[in-house]
């Protein structure tokens, strides 16, 4: 149980507060919604701030009395992993990205370091099984709330506070911002809830109440997993369930047999559902069918790109969170034309093996596997050593959680809320292994010298600076950006200038805010142009260019920045006749840099082709478009613009041929472009339209 030390109790309550991170969502805090977007950023800030407060409190407790650290072997695997990550940061191709990550992901080494601090605090201060039971009771309860919200969202069931649910979402995200994240959260929770449900049947007193409580939550979590319809999460759940059923010591042998029979039926039924026509098109089965037919191919292509790039930097990779750089370097030109693909700018590998190899290299990946390999092997020894005990069941639960999480991670990626829960389970594994397996000879006792206290005092002062500079200030700046984006159309001129002001002092958010600003500013500049305000449109474009060029200093290997800059200068070419040569040179150089970073990605090549077409150099544009088609004949935009270039060159038959190819690939007829080209030649236009019918 918790001791009488108020400081230790506060640390326990701080850990409990951390568990509420999944509920940091506009769904429950609607009046504060402006502060809670992007979802991952809001949760990461909440977690970092809470961990820093707990860490400061832990330092005060350390300063109060002599510190004796009893270090178990598992600790060294944690330390080795953190050091491997730190070295990867030092050697990163883009340190800014590795340290902070993009705002809508919000991982990065800074966040990981907070999780390692949390891990240290948990292993040092929480050493009682009953305290851990309290923690898991909270985890399970919050899981029930999150699952209920997801089910409400799917079926449009409303509370009186109608902002809690959104009606009829096909794949609800609950409070976690993304259906896949919702699914990942449940993959971790379900084995925990199942263990406590099974224990509740043996509990005295209140057995019925406990069984009902955990049973209802378990059903809600299963329902949540179904409505989230995350293929990776469902596979992860099946994997964890198989491990749980295999290792758990049921009191009666027939229960284990029945559990395996039910699992085999579910697996066979699931695979059959992918093939059976009337099932294939319903609910979960159509998602798994698409994994085989379409989106599975896109993942394989992304993994192929990541593994090729891993071979370019095999030891420490491209640096944490830099998978986008690795992906672009060996981009598959067929990626953009694969069926069922909505997004082909991938910042994550959707596979932990490829992700770690490409970003952390073989050293980081080995360190990561070492943590899990050692931890799972020791948990398995606990399970074997303490048969038919609570501890053996707990070890089984942890092994099944990590199995499910690994399976999920083979097809998807981490997020702040789920990763925090995993680190807490690392801390619990440390407790279980230390309590029931490690001997005194395996424990290294370290008494910190008094001089170490000066180090902790200095850390305390650093924490105050970090708390303001890297948490509270970004929180305020992000809220200002959200407010501007929501109200932008009400007074675009005012909010345009306000956005420029906040980016000047936005710290590590500057790169992300500049990209968010690009979307708004482009629309506003276009609107000014369409309303005849040419000079104002040019001025806004130049401000936008200035913002984007700052990004090149922050993230010099991020291909998108160069493409956006090239596009902006092409726009200026059409408006500024006096600076045409300078704008052309800038646009060309930026497109060429984008092509250098991603030689086979079509966006940079298409931009360069558009640039040459905009100044009448159709032969150069045609040459580039033919090169794109040679690498991927199914890339429709290349055929479309090749046809238009041919028409400008008066090569009508060649243009018609490419236009037919464009339409065969599912693209619409570019009637507006054709009407501009053949404005004074209606007969030719008529011939073209008749030919492509």
- Domain span at residue 159 reads 128-249+387-413
* Residue 534 counted as domain residue: yes
- For residues 561 and 527, state if they share a domain: yes
In a domain, 446, yes or no: no
Same domain, 663 and 603: no
Q: What is the pLDDT of residue 481?
A: 93
Give all strands (DSSP E) within 531-574, no chain letters: none
The pLDDT score that the predictor gives to residue 29 is 61
Residues 490/523, Cβ–Cβ less than 8 Å? no
Distance CA(175)–CA(25), nearest Å, equals 6
**Same domain for 221 and 159:** yes
What is the token pair recorded at 680? 């004074």
572 and 626 belong to one structural domain = no
Flag whether 275 is in a domain.
yes
Q: Are residues 548 and 591 in the same domain?
A: yes
Same domain, 238 and 264: no
User: The whole model's pTM is what?
Assistant: 0.90
Alpha-carbon gap, residue 314 to 359, rounded angstroms: 9
CB 566 within 8 A of CB 590: yes
Cα–Cα nearest to 180, from 228, 220, 218: 228
Helix (H, G, I), strand (E, B) or coil at 94: coil
d(CA 218, CA 186): 10
Instruction: Let me know if residue 49 belongs to a domain.
Output: no
Q: Are residues 141 and 243 in the same domain?
A: yes
Number of domains the chain is built from: 4
pLDDT at 342: 52
Work out the number of other CB atoms within 10 angstroms of the CB of residue 167.
12
Q: How many CB atoms lie within 10 A of CB 54?
A: 23
In 15-151, which ranges are E strands?
Answer: 68-71
433 inside domain: no
**Which has the closest alpha carbon to 548: 571, 528, 532?**
571
Per-10-residue mean pLDDT of the chain, 693 residues long, equals: 70 94 76 81 95 91 71 89 95 96 94 96 90 95 94 71 49 89 96 93 76 94 92 90 83 64 62 49 52 66 92 95 95 73 79 96 96 95 84 93 95 93 96 76 59 74 90 93 89 90 91 91 90 91 93 95 95 88 95 96 95 94 95 91 93 92 86 85 87 80
Please tell me the predicted confidence (pLDDT) of residue 254: 59
Question: How far apart, in whole angstroms, are the C-alpha atoms of residue 562 and residue 611?
Answer: 14
State phi, psi for 185 to the nearest 5 degrees: -60, -40
Q: Is 277 exposed, middle or buried (0-12, 13-18, 19+ CB in 10 A)?
A: exposed
CA distance 647 to 527: 29
Task: Give the CATH number for residue 645.
Answer: 1.25.40
One domain, residues 209 and 273: no
d(CA 674, CA 272): 50
pLDDT at res. 290 = 52
* 436 assigned to some structural domain: no
Cβ partners under 8 Å of residue 8, min gap 6: 2, 61, 125
End residue of a domain, out of 612, 630, 645: 612
16 in Cβ contact with 138 (< 8 Å): yes
Q: Is residue 635 part of a domain?
A: yes
C-alpha–C-alpha distance, residues 149 and 224, integer Å: 9
* Whether the Cβ atoms of residue 287 and residue 307 lie closer than 8 Å to each other: no
């Amino acid at each position: 149980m918790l001791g009488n030390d108020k400081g230790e109790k506060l640390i326990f309550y701080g850990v409990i507060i951390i568990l509420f991170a999944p509920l940091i969502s506009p769904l429950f805090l609607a009046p504060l919604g402006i502060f809670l977007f992007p979802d991952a950023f809001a949760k990461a800030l909440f977690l970092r701030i809470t961990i820093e407060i707990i860490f400061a409190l832990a330092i005060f407790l350390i300063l109060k009395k002599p510190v004796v650290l009893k270090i178990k072997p598992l600790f060294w695997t944690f330390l080795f992993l953190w050091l491997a990550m730190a070295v990867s940061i030092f050697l990163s191709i883009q340190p800014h990205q590795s340290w902070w990550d993009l705002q809508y992901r919000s991982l990065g080494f800074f966040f990981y370091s907070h999780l390692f601090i949390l891990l240290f605090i948990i292993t040092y201060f929480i050493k009682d099984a009953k305290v851990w039971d309290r923690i898991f009771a909270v985890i399970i309860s919050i899981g029930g709330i999150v699952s209920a919200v997801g089910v409400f969202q799917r079926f449009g069931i409303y509370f009186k506070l109608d902002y809690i649910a959104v009606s009829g979402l096909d794949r609800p995200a609950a409070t976690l911002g993304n259906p896949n994240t919702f699914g990942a959260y449940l993959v971790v929770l379900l084995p925990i809830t199942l263990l406590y449900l099974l224990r509740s049947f043996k509990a005295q007193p209140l057995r019925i109440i406990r069984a009902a409580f955990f049973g209802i939550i378990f059903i809600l979590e299963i329902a949540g997993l179904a409505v989230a319809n995350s293929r990776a999460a469902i596979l992860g759940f099946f994997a964890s369930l198989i491990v749980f059923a295999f290792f758990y010591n049921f009191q009666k042998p027939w229960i284990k047999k029945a559990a395996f029979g039910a699992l085999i039926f579910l697996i066979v039924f699931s695979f059959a559902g992918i093939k059976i026509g009337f099932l294939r098109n319903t609910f979960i089965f159509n998602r798994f069918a698409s994994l085989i037919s379409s989106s599975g191919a896109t993942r394989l292509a992304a993994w192929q790109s990541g593994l090729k790039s891993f071979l370019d930097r095999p030891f420490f990779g491209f640096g944490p969170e830099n998978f986008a750089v690795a992906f672009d370097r060996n981009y598959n030109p067929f990626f953009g034309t694969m069926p069922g693909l909505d997004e082909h700018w991938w910042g994550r590998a959707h596979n932990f093996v490829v992700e770690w190899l490409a970003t952390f290299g073989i050293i980081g990946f080995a360190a990561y596997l070492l943590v899990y390999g050692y931890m799972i092997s020791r948990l398995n020894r606990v399970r074997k050593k303490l048969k038919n005990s609570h501890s053996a069941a707990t070890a089984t639960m942890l092994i099944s959680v990590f199995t499910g999480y690994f399976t999920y991670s083979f097809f998807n990626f981490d997020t702040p809320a789920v990763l925090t829960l995993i680190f807490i389970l690392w801390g619990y594994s440390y407790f279980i292994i230390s309590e029931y397996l490690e001997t005194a000879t395996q424990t290294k006792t370290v008494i910190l010298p008094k001089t170490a206290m000066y180090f902790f005092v200095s850390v305390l002062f650093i924490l105050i600076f970090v708390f303001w500079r890297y948490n509270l200030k970004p929180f305020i700046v992000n809220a200002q950006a959200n407010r501007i984006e929501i109200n932008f159309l009400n007074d675009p001129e005012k909010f345009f200038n306000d956005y420029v002001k906040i980016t000047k002092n936005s710290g590590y958010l500057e790169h992300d805010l500049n990209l968010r600003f690009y979307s708004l500013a482009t629309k506003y500049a276009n609107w000014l142009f369409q309303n005849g305000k040419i000079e104002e449109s040019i001025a806004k474009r130049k401000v936008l260019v200035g913002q984007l060029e700052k990004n090149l200093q922050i993230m010099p290997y991020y291909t998108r920045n160069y493409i956006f800059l090239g596009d902006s200068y092409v726009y200026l070419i059409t408006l500024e006749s006096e600076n045409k040569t300078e704008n052309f040179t800038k646009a060309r150089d930026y497109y060429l840099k984008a092509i250098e970073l991603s030689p086979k990605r079509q966006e940079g090549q298409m931009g360069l082709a558009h640039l040459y077409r905009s100044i009448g150099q159709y032969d150069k544009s045609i040459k580039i478009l033919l090169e794109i088609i040679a690498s991927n004949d199914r890339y429709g935009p290349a055929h479309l613009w090749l046809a238009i270039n041919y028409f400008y060159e008066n090569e009508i038959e060649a243009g018609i041929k490419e236009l037919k190819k464009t339409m065969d690939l599912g693209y619409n007829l570019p009637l507006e472009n054709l009407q501009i080209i053949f404005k004074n030649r209606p007969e030719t236009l008529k011939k073209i339209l008749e030919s492509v019918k």
